[in-house]
Amino acid sequence: MSPTPLPTRVFLACGVTDMRKGFDGLAVLVQQVLSENPHSAALFAFRGKRGHLVKLLWFDGQGLCLFSKRLDRGRFVWPVTATGSVTLTPAQLSMLLEGIDWRRPERTFVPTPAGKK
């Protein structure tokens, strides 16, 4: 692989994707459904009907890379919308691939002044 930076934009394809699709089929979905260029520096994620398989499509500067991950137990957390796409940060993508609910808002610690409860 070429020494290109990791993608900064991550798109989740909402809805269900036919997991029999490969490089070409997923690239066509990126162009027609998401209205994006599959050869951009973005990463595109697709989930199957059962929710335990995810495929990632990424252009590394030389060609398309196709990655897949299958969970032994549980399902990948996916948006509820039927069509379109959702943009994630790389940190949210990492959480998604670990099976963690990435939709939860971050909790921030707010210190209370001394003497107050």
pTM of the model: 0.77
Rounded (10°) CA dihedral 93, 99, 102, 107: -120
pLDDT above 90 as % of the chain = 31
Tokens 């969970």 belong to 71
Q: How does pLDDT run across 41-86, given as a tens digit for each residue?
A: 889 999 988 889 999 999 888 889 999 999 888 888 887 776 678 8
Alpha-carbon separation of residue 64 from 35, 98, 100, 110 (angstroms): 17, 23, 27, 44
- Considering only CA atoms, which of 25, 72, 24 is closest in space to residue 51? 72
